[in-house]
Amino acid sequence: MNPPQKTAKPAARQAEIDESAAGQRLDNYLLGALKGVPRSHIYRLIRSGQVRVNSGRVTPKHRLKAGDRVRVPPVAVRPPSPASASGGSFAWLAQRIVFEDSRLLVLDKPAGLAVHGGTGVALGCIEALRALRPELKELELVHRLDRATSGCLLVAKRRSALRTLHALLREGRVDKRYLALVQGHWREPLADVAAPLVTKRGAGESRVRVASGGKAARSSFRLLEALGRTASLLEVSIATGRTHQIRVHAAHLGYPIAGDDRYGDREFNAAMERFGLRRMFLHSHSVAFVWPESGEAFSISVPLPQELKAVLTALGGRAPTDRAPHP
C-alpha cells in the first residue's frame, strides 16, 4: 500500500502585481496563484480577511492595479493524482476546441461539465485545459457557463487578451447569443427584459430571483419557431452576464426553459423527457466582438448538439442551421 500523500503548505507571501496581471479580478488572480484550490475556498480566504491588497480588505471582484501588493495566505494544496493531472486523460477535450489563435481559444463545452472546479467538482474545463496544454501558462476563463449549458466558452491564452475581453464584457461590447427551448406558445416576436437579479448563495448551487434593488440584468428574447402550444424555440442575447440570468428571466416571463430542474416546470420537463430531452435545453450558440486595438472582427458559432436537434425534430421543428442568421 502506498503511503498517504502529504500536503504542501507554503508560507504567506507578498505578491507584487505587474502589468501582465493588472486589471484582473482578485479571485481570478488567486485561482492562478493557488492552483488546485477550489474557488469556494478562495472566496472564504478573501472574505475572512486572510487575503489583503495593499494591507486592506477587498472583495473578490476587486480589480488589481500594477504595483498592488497582495498578501497570499498559506494554503494546504494536495498534489493532484496522476489520473487527474494527466493531459492524456483529457485528450477528448482537444476535439472540442473549435477555434484557436495566439490570444484566444474557444471550447464547445459539453453539458454536464463545470467550467471550473469547486465544491463537489474536482476538475472543470479550465483545469482540464491546463492539464491538456501545460505549455500555456496563462490560460484563464473569459466568462462562465452553467454546468448544464453547452456551447461557446472563451478562454484567454494571454493576460493581455483577458484584460481586453473583460473590458469589452463590462462595456457591453460582446454579442453573446443562446438557443433555448421554453414552455408554452411565445406570442411576441421580440421581448426585451430588464429585471434586476438577487443571488442567494448557500450550500450547493446559487439560487437567483428577480427583485428590486438587485443587480441590473438585461436579456432579449427572439422567437425562432413556435412548436404548437407546447414549446417555443428562442434566440436569447444578453447585455449582462449575471448568474442564471437567462433561466431566471425566462421563468419570470412565464416561459421556463425545458429541462431546467431549478427554475423550470416539473410537469413540462417530464413531458419533454418523453420527446427525448435528457438535459437543460440551453446552448451558447455564438459570440462576436471587435478587437479594439486592431478593429478586427471576431465571430464564432457552435451548432446545436445532436441530442437537442433530435428533440426539436421529435417536436416537429426544424434544425436551427436551416434558418438565416440574425441580421
For the chain, where are the E strands, in sequence order?
13-16, 52-53, 69-72, 97-100, 104-109, 140-141, 150-156, 175-183, 190-194, 197-200, 207-210, 218-227, 231-238, 282-290, 297-301
Torsion, CA 38, CA 42, CA 47, CA 52, rounded to 10: 170
Indicate which residue of 27, 101, 108, 146 is catalytic: 146
Q: How many residues does the chain have?
A: 327
Q: How far apart are CA 270 and CA 88, in angstroms?
A: 38
Centroid of chain to Cα 167? 17
Spatial contact of 118 and 124, defined as CB atoms under 8 Å apart: yes
Active site residue 146: yes
Q: How far apart are CA 222 and CA 316, in angstroms?
A: 19
Residue 55 burial (C-beta neighbours within 10 Å; 0-12, 13-18, 19+): exposed
Spatial contact of 179 and 237, defined as CB atoms under 8 Å apart: no
Centroid of chain to Cα 50? 27
253 C-beta neighbours (distance < 10 Å), count: 18
What Å distances lie between residue 231 and 184, 185, 279, 326, CA to CA? 5, 6, 16, 21
Which residues are identified as catalytic?
A: 146
